[in-house]
Amino acid sequence: MTDADKSSSPRHGVARAISKSGWGSRTQAVQWIREGRVRVNGRVVRDAEFPVRQDLDRVTVDGQIQAPAHTVVMLNKPRGLVTTTKDEQGRDTVYRCFQGSGLPWLAPVGRLDKASEGLLLFSNHPAWAASITAPETGPEKRYHVQISCLADASLLEALEQGVEFRAKSARCLRSGGKNSWLEIVLDEGRNRQIRRLLAAFDVSVLRLVRIAIGSLVLGELPKGGWRALTEEEINALTAKRLA
């Protein structure tokens, strides 16, 4: 029986295996493979779909086998940037904020849409990122939302009851003139969830800022600014929510 027969792990294309290990995106891995920088068991491979088993095959990039240290960064996302590595329409992306930083490859942990602002996480560890975004294991997300009307108790109750989905909690922070600021807490962060939730009650969002993820608070981080999380902060985010 060969080592391959003994392995219970699935085969993946080498580009995907590199991405899953936290080295870089799959697009970056494909480029490294084309450049001859990737070896499998000591042999240069130039096929991104070359099958490997991560528990048996030795995959190196530029001769290095160990995965980079787990890095998590928090960004105060400015309004007007899209959360993607590359935009087909040529719009500015959140990666503009990291230019010249010397950071390793990092992928967004969840999303904020173009018109939204605030706390956005990035990580080079796909499994950790998945645990943060999963409703069952991820921390709650807190938002400050300016809406196009004056909030009353019936609206707040309706937001917590929901239609397609609901807020974990909703409260009015302040009101004035013709609009109000709400604090809305979500158990999960589906695509445009708050905007869709409010639209169900004919309420428009004027401004949306994510201010916290679990125990991690945006604080005084300047717009477009970022910082690396400490090990304690990373561990606190990973802790499973109590029911």
187 catalytic, yes or no? no
Q: 221 pLDDT exceeds 50?
A: yes
Q: Which three-class secondary structure state does DSSP give residue 112?
A: coil
N-to-C CA span, the chain: 47
Is residue 189 scored above 50 in pLDDT? yes
Mean pLDDT of the chain: 88
Q: pTM value?
A: 0.76
Q: Which of 53, 56, 57, 63 is nearest to 23 (CA)?
A: 63
141-213 has the same fold as 72-136+220-238: no
Q: How far apart are CA 50 and CA 166, in angstroms?
A: 44
Q: What is the pLDDT of residues 103-146, one digit of tens each?
A: 878 899 999 999 999 999 999 888 889 889 888 788 999 999 99
Choice among 57, 62, 113, 187 that is catalytic: 113
Give the architecture (CATH level 2) of 141-213.
2-Layer Sandwich (3.30)
Query: Strands, DSSP E only, in the chain?
Result: 12-13, 38-40, 43-44, 51-52, 59-61, 72-77, 107-109, 117-123, 141-147, 169-176, 179-186, 205-213, 216-217, 226-228
User: pLDDT tens-digit profile of 137-181?
Assistant: 889 999 999 999 999 999 999 999 977 788 999 999 999 889 999
What is the rounded average pLDDT of the residues 185-214?
91
Checking if the pLDDT of 243 tops 60, the result is no
Topology annotation, domain 72-136+220-238: Alpha-Beta Plaits (3.30.70)
Q: Where are the chain's structural domains?
A: 3-61, 72-136+220-238, 141-213
Q: Give percent of the chain above pLDDT 70.
A: 91
83-92 per-position pLDDT tens digit: 988 888 889 9
Sorted by sequence, the CB contacts under 8 Å of residue 174 that are 6+ apart come out as 180, 181
The 10s digit of each residue's pLDDT in 12-45 is 899 888 877 767 778 888 999 999 999 999 999 9
CATH code of the region 3-61 = 3.10.290.10
Strand partners, 209: 117, 144
Q: Residue 198's closest CA among 214, 211, 180?
A: 180
Q: Quick one: average pLDDT of 71-79?
A: 96
Kindly list the distances between the CA atom of residue 74 and the CA atoms of 106, 181, 211, in Å, as whole numbers in the listed order.
11, 24, 11
pLDDT at 137: 81
Please give the single-letter amino acid code of residue 4. A
> Given the DSSP bridges, would you call strands 117-123 and 205-213 parallel, antiparallel or unpaired?
parallel
What contacts 24+ positions apart, CB below 8 Å, involve 171-178? 173/144, 175/150, 175/151, 178/148, 178/149, 178/150
Rounded Cα gap, residues 45 and 52, in angstroms? 11
